[in-house]
Structure 1
Amino acid sequence: MFLNYLALCMILIVLVILFYTFIYIHELPYESAKHRNHPQQDAIYVACWLSLFTLHAIWPLVFLWALSHKDDSATAETESGTANHSDLLTRLAQLESRIKEMEQEASGKPAKGARGK
């Protein structure tokens, strides 16, 4: 009698472990999309749950979809960061000079380098 209850408990434990393993594997595409900062990670999450209704027939496609995006923001900043920085500094200097000219025109004084009309 005791062995029957022990066997029943072992079967229930194995079923619970299998269920949670199944859910863990099922969530892998969403976790990889979240890790890669995929722009469509919410849609991938929904597609993971929808794949349950297709008996995971679309799960490989969802997994490939999640892996299709690579977060290149860190490498792009290091490669073109100095070029963008110098462009921004140039643009900032131009805007500052235009603001000074506008302030001088508004106060009635002629701006430096301004052409007379």
Structure 2
Amino acid sequence: MLDYFALGVLIFVGITLFYGIIVLHDIPYEIAVHRNHPHQDAIHAAGWVSLFTLHALWPFLWIWAMLYREDRGWGFTGGTPGSGQEADLAQQLAELRQRVEQLEGRATPPQRGQGEV
């Protein structure tokens, strides 16, 4: 009787490990879905390929899935395109140019003999 129980436990553990590894390899895909990643399908396919490459790709898939966030994109720029950041920068540049022109207009040019080296 204990032989059959041990065999059942062994089969249960084997099946649990098999499906556990599959679930583990879907973690980067689930992260990509949660973050609305533009490469969700590629990450999912690479996760399955990683099962057959002795898990060599899996850490890179994790990083790939974690890099993208919908609110900030890939994170390499200050904001998402069209967020108005360019308009703000252009306005600041125009204000600075205006201030420089005002300061240059107020300054009197140096007279000959004064300030020259």
Q: TM-score of the superposition, structure 1-length normalised?
A: 0.60
Question: Is it true that 1:19 corresponds to 2:41 in the alignment?
Answer: no
Which residue of structure 2 aligns with residue 44 of structure 1? 43
Q: Work out the CA distance in 2 between the residues paired with 1:6 and 1:45.
A: 37
C-alpha displacement of 1:56: 0.4
Which residue of structure 2 aligns with residue 61 of structure 1? 60
Helix, strand or coil at the partner of 2:52: coil
C-alpha displacement of 1:72: 0.4
C-alpha displacement of 1:15: 0.8
Amino acid at match of 2:18: F
Which residue of structure 2 aligns with residue 3 of structure 1? 2
Question: Is it true that 1:28 corresponds to 2:13 in the alignment?
Answer: no
Unaligned 5+ segments in structure 1 are 81-117
Q: TM-score of the superposition, structure 2-length normalised?
A: 0.60
Q: What whole-Å deviation, never above 9, does each CA across 1:13-41 have from its counterpart, x for those lacking one?
A: 11111111111111000000000000011
Higher relative contact order (CA 8 A, sep 6+): 1
Residue correspondence of structure 1 range 55-94 to structure 2 within 5 A: 55-72=54-71
Unaligned 5+ segments in structure 2 are 73-79, 85-117
Q: Work out the CA distance in 1 between the residues paired with 2:51 and 2:6.
A: 30
Runs of 4+ in structure 1 off by over 6 angstroms are: none
RMSD (CA atoms): 2.0
Identity of aligned residues (%): 49
- Aligned residue pairs total 77
Q: What whole-Å deviation, never above 9, does each CA across 1:84-115 have from its counterpart, x for those lacking one?
A: xxxxxxxxxxxxxxxxxxxxxxxxxxxxxxxx
